[in-house]
Amino acid sequence: MKVMEIRFQKAGQSHWAVDQLQVHSGSQIVVKFNHCQDLAQVVQLQELAPEEVALDEIIVERTAVDTDLAHAASNQTDAQAALHQARQKVRAHGLRMKVTAARYTLDRHKLIFYFTADGRVDFRELVRDLASVFKTRIELRQIGVRDEAKILGGIGPCGRPLCCSTFLGEFVPVSIKMAKNQNLSLNPTKISGLCGRLMCCLQFEDELYENAKAALPDYGERVMTVDGPGKIVGMNLLAHVLRVRLDGHEVPVDYDLEEIKIKVNKSGET
């Protein structure tokens, strides 16, 4: 079965549907999803067995034409104006929430607002107010700080556009252990992204570091070097270089892994 991975927004959540159009990666298509007509982009196409993929309830209607793209661009302009009005309404209702972005579906049957808040917000009156202004179905979606960074975009500490807003479809778990594996500073300001959470890129090379670490002795282990026994006090995982403090010496010495002969016990016996 030939299936397509599609996204409604750049770096947005992925959805899977049967390829009924014989399109190519990067193609813009018009689909029916959640009772609304919307514009989506094909990310990739694959041949998969039915049990290998969970298909979403998406009806692929046709390949997008110039009028669809023009309509989508017009919708985006109107959505930006709606965002400004929604923020005014939020202030008028005295709600503790921050409206981050707005988006119309292609057929304008739904206007979606994305917002952040510290807790639950009773926005029922706000929804009724917005519906009376925009004369369409209103949906408010609460998002987290990572999703907010994905929507707003920006430049990360590396000097490049944020991974989440350029290619990451879904967030992956990131832990402080990943920073430790890579011998990075554990200063939160050094390993946190614009969202204030641990940088997603810590996960990209974690498997490589885990495998490299498994191939080397651990910190504190005693080893036999070409210059005698000592204890491991540091290492460069990717270069396979171990820093060893030799018995009777204060200054550690770096050795390639091949120069570490065998492990020894605390007494120095082989």
- Span 11-39, pLDDT tens digits: 788 899 888 888 888 999 999 998 999 99
| Per-residue confidence (pLDDT) for residue 263, from 0 to 100 | 60
Is there a domain that residue 211 lies in?
no
| Per-residue confidence (pLDDT) for residue 270, from 0 to 100 | 46
Is there a domain that residue 215 lies in?
no
Please state the domain count of the chain. 4
CB-based contact 18:55 (threshold 8 Å): yes
What is the 3-state composition of the chain as percent helix, strand, coil, each rounded to the nearest 5? 30, 30, 40
**Are 75 and 124 part of one and the same domain?**
yes
The 3-state DSSP class for residue 75 equals: helix
CB-based contact 191:183 (threshold 8 Å): no
Is there a domain that residue 41 lies in?
yes
Is there a domain that residue 111 lies in?
yes
Proportion of the chain above pLDDT 70, given as a percent: 97
d(CA 195, CA 144) in angstroms, rounded, equals 9
Of residues 125 and 264, more confidently modeled: 125
Residues contacting 14, CB < 8 A, separation 6+? 5, 6, 7, 43, 169, 170
**Are 12 and 49 part of one and the same domain?**
yes
**Are 97 and 130 part of one and the same domain?**
yes
Which of these three, 143, 176, 193, is where a domain ends?
143
| Per-residue confidence (pLDDT) for residue 93, from 0 to 100 | 95
Q: Got the DSSP string for 109-146?
A: SEEEEEEE-SS----HHHHHHHHHHH-SEEEEEE--HH
- Span 69-93, pLDDT tens digits: 999 999 999 999 999 999 999 999 9
Least confident of 130-139, 199-208, 261-270: 261-270
| Per-residue confidence (pLDDT) for residue 268, from 0 to 100 | 47
Is there a domain that residue 212 lies in?
no
Proportion of the chain above pLDDT 90, given as a percent: 59
Is there a domain that residue 58 lies in?
yes
| Per-residue confidence (pLDDT) for residue 244, from 0 to 100 | 92
Residue 9 has pLDDT above 80, yes or no: yes
Q: In terms of residue numbers, what domain contains 109?
A: 69-143
d(CA 40, CA 10) in angstroms, rounded, equals 9
* Arithmetic mean of pLDDT, 95-122: 95
Which of 48-62, 116-130, 180-194, 254-268: highest mean pLDDT? 116-130
**Are 36 and 74 part of one and the same domain?**
no
Which of these three, 122, 143, 164, is where a domain ends?
143
| Per-residue confidence (pLDDT) for residue 84, from 0 to 100 | 96
**Are 162 and 177 part of one and the same domain?**
yes
Which of these three, 49, 64, 79, is where a domain ends?
64
Q: Which helix (H) or strand (E) holds 76?
A: helix 66-93
Residue 105 sits in a domain whose CATH number is 3.30.300
Is there a domain that residue 269 lies in?
no
| Per-residue confidence (pLDDT) for residue 239, from 0 to 100 | 85
Is there a domain that residue 125 lies in?
yes
- Span 166-200, pLDDT tens digits: 988 888 899 999 998 888 889 998 999 999 999 99
**Are 139 and 77 part of one and the same domain?**
yes
The 3-state DSSP class for residue 254 equals: strand
Residue 144 has pLDDT above 60, yes or no: yes
